[in-house]
Each structure stands twice: as structure tokens, then as C-alpha cells.
């Protein structure tokens, strides 16, 4: 099957395919941001693990265990976010290919383009929700105060009640 390669069809196909490329740019920026957050989560977990291994203080070990559990959840959210963003990028790439082939090749596959684009947007929105959940969890850990030695911090008091 030969494609009728008219210059106007190819130009129009490129114009149609350019719009989703902007979403790909946003997706790549988000992946970079989330990958950076994931790297910091991993670095912090390694630091807490190393400090816990060298400690014999039961309170410190319990606090370390709680922080590691929270870091584990944050890491899973970041990994989920990256997986959703990668899926989004793939689906947007499929959309671009389908739009271009549909326009340049005269193939009637617009439903595939609509479906892949909408699925890509759904993946992007779900990734944003994962990102929001991870950042909310990260900021819940912050106290924004300096505590004197021996004073129980609010997070520790909440954890002790649970």
C-alpha cells in the first residue's frame, strides 16, 4: 500500500503532530523533577539506614524505622509517578505517529489518535496526583522549628500515640 505523499498533506500532518509535542516537553520536565526527588529520597534513606546501623539507642532506631517507612512510601509514589509519565510519553508519541500517518498516508485511524491522546492525558493527570501526594507527605515531615535536646518533637509525639 503506497502513501500519497503530497507536500500539503505532509505539512498539515506535521502541524497536527506538533501540538502533542508540547505535552511531551512537559512530561520530560516532570520526569526530570520527579527523578531528582527520587534521588534525594534514596540518598536520605541510605543516610538514615547508615545512622541506624551505628546506633544502639532504641528511640533513635524507632524514629529511623518510621522515617524509613515514610521514605519507602514516598519512593513508591515517585516511582509510580515516573511510570505514569513514561506511559504518558509513550501514548503521546503514538498519537503523534498516528496523526502523521493518518494525514500523510490518508489512513482513517483518527479514533486511535483520540484514544491514545486521551489515555496519555489520563496518565499525566494520575502522575500529577502521585506527585502531589508525594510532596504533601514530604512536607508533613517538616516541623520548621529548632528543638532543644531532649524535647519531644510533634512528629515524634504523634508517632508515639499511633
Measure the CA–CA gap between 124 and 130, rounded to whole angstroms. Answer: 10
Is the torsion defined by CA of 69, 71, 76, 77 positive or negative?
positive
Global pTM value: 0.76
Print burial letters for 125-159: b (CB count within 10 Å at least 16), e (below 16). ebbeebbebbeeebeeeeeeeeeeeeeeeebbeee
Q: E strands, the chain, where?
A: none
Q: Are 94 and 38 in contact (CB under 8 A)?
A: no
Q: Where are the domains of the chain?
A: 7-141
Measure the CA–CA gap between 105 and 5, rounded to whole angstroms. Answer: 7
pLDDT digit string (tens) for the chain, length 162 residues: 455 556 666 666 666 667 788 889 999 999 999 999 999 999 999 999 998 888 888 888 888 899 999 999 999 999 999 999 999 999 999 988 888 787 776 777 778 888 999 999 999 999 999 999 999 999 887 766 676 766 655 545 444 443
- Please give the backbone phi and psi of residue 62, each rounded to the nearest 5 degrees, phi first: -65, -45
Amino acid at each position: 500500500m503506497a502513501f500519497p505523499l503530497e507536500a500539503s498533506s505532509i505539512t498539515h500532518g506535521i502541524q497536527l503532530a506538533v501540538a502533542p509535542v508540547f505535552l511531551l516537553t512537559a512530561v520530560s520536565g516532570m520526569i526530570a523533577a520527579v527523578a531528582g526527588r527520587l534521588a534525594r529520597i534514596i540518598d536520605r534513606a541510605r543516610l538514615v539506614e547508615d545512622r541506624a546501623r551505628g546506633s544502639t539507642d532504641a528511640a533513635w532506631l524507632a524514629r529511623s524505622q518510621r522515617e524509613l517507612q515514610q521514605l519507602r512510601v514516598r519512593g513508591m509514589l515517585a516511582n509510580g509517578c515516573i511510570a505514569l509519565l513514561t506511559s504518558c510519553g509513550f501514548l503521546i508519541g503514538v498519537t503523534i505517529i498516528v496523526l502523521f500517518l493518518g494525514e500523510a498516508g490518508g489512513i482513517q485511524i483518527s479514533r486511535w489518535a483520540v484514544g491514545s491522546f486521551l489515555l496519555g492525558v489520563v496518565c499525566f493527570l494520575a502522575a500529577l496526583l502521585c506527585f502531589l501526594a508525594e510532596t504533601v507527605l514530604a512536607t508533613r515531615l517538616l516541623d520548621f522549628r529548632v528543638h532543644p535536646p531532649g524535647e519531644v518533637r510533634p512528629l515524634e509525639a504523634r508517632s508515639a500515640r499511633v
